[in-house]
Amino acid sequence: MSTIFSRIIRGELPCEKILETEHEFAFLDIHPFAEGHTLVVPKVEIARFEELPEPLAQSLIVTVQQVARAVMAAMGTTHYNLSLNNGSAAGQEVPHVHFHVVPRYEGQRRARQPYANGRIAQVGAAIRTALGDPGRR
């Protein structure tokens, strides 16, 4: 059975896509801890990080780094959380490897806040624009 992330990657479910590479897919979390909270997942459906073949793990980390730079630029911060929950006891809710890139600000509390109507598309466009700037890659 496919995970929700595999269904998003295949286009069966909508998302605000940030980046797609040969091996990775990045999109905005619809229940973000902050505007710009982006998920970066490998296209191959593997539940645990240590089970990723090494070339795919390396590619994933490079893509996470590119997305983190773009999220910081687009969201106007130099602070972010990078997290990976590996296994249900660690808080992994979807059994598909995924990194969270969450922009952070001084004094901000960590609470999920939905996007206002139309805001998710604006945030997505800002991050994609930042990704397109060759000086930020």
Instruction: List active site positions.
Output: 98
- CA separation for the pair 131, 56 (Å, rounded): 21
Residue corresponding to tokens 């295949």: 10
Task: Collapse the DSSP code of 79 into the 3-class scheme (helix H, G, I; strand E, B; otherwise coil) and give the result.
Answer: strand
- CA separation for the pair 11, 116 (Å, rounded): 23
> What H or E segment, with its residue span, contains residue 81?
strand 79-83
CB-facing half-sphere around the CA of 39: CA atoms within 13 A? 25
Burial string for 122-133 (b: 16+ CB within 10 Å, else e) reads: ebbebbbebbee
Residue corresponding to tokens 């206002």: 116
